[in-house]
Amino acid sequence: MSVSIAIDNVSKSFGKKVVLNEIDLTIEKGQIYGFIGPSGAGKTTLVKMIVGMDTPDSGTIHVLNEKMPNLELLQDIGYMAQSDALYSELTGIENLKFFASLYKLNKQEMKQRISYAADLVNLSNELNKKVAAYSGGMKRRLSLAIALIHNPKILILDEPTVGIDPELRLNIWNELLRLKNEDGKTIIVTTHVMDEAERCDYIAMVRDGCILTSGTPKELKAMYKTDSFDEVFLGAGRKK
């Protein structure tokens, strides 16, 4: 399989605090790759560097064979941040139209993509409300719709299901699996919810800026002789 993302010996510090320490990993095309770990582990910093919003102190990151940061590649990346970056005084539909206008979509494509994304996150009936009136969960759903709006080759989703009800969370994961299987998209998901790890093809467990262990869900469970991902994570921490 071809490589979508290559991270080579990446380190990052903020002041004296080491946030990422010599991270090496490769993410293949058409893979759902999970960064699993507690808050403050370094997951968000890592995905921001993959998107090109931040730069490593040392090491390199290549996305689709191009060194990051690279503004042109943003046409191929859908990014859902941990904090919702929305215009509160605009309606849901106005937010979607604004972000869609940043990409190379004609009017018909824009209309189709907005309809698809809004329907996926179950917001079609709420689009005429101002975002200021949205609940936290609705804002997360709108952020996900915006990440999908331009049909990107790579989706990077930072804690995408926080504040989303279980039924919609299942629908979103089913769509992510479809996007991987049918469209060949590469998807990165950060989460601290261990049961979501089961749905990833490959997992890197991150803590204190380091990758404790990585592998498929099946491999990791076999390695630590358990059926519980909480036990896998605890076991990886003990081995550190």
Residue-wise pLDDT for 131-156, tens only, equals 999 998 899 999 999 999 999 999 99
Name the packing angle between helices 166-183 and 107-120 (round to 10°). 140
Q: Give the total number of structural domains in the chain.
A: 1
- What CATH number does residue 107 fall under? 3.40.50.300
Cα gap 139→126, rounded to integer Å: 11
> Nearest to residue 71, comparing CAs of 96, 43, 99, 103?
103
pLDDT at residue 1 in the model: 63
Residue-wise pLDDT for 10-23, tens only, equals 999 999 999 999 99
- pLDDT class of 50 with cuts at 50, 70, 90: very high
- pLDDT higher than 60, residue 240: no
pLDDT at residue 178 in the model: 92
- Listed range (36-40, 41-45, 100-104, 150-154) with the worst mean pLDDT: 36-40
Residue 149 DSSP SS3: coil
Output the 3-class SS for 41-71: CCHHHHHHHHHCCCCCCEEEEEECCEECCCH
Mean pLDDT on 167-180: 90
The residue segments making up the domain with residue 235 are: 3-239
Phi, psi at 42, each rounded to 5°: 115, 0
Cα gap 60→49, rounded to integer Å: 10
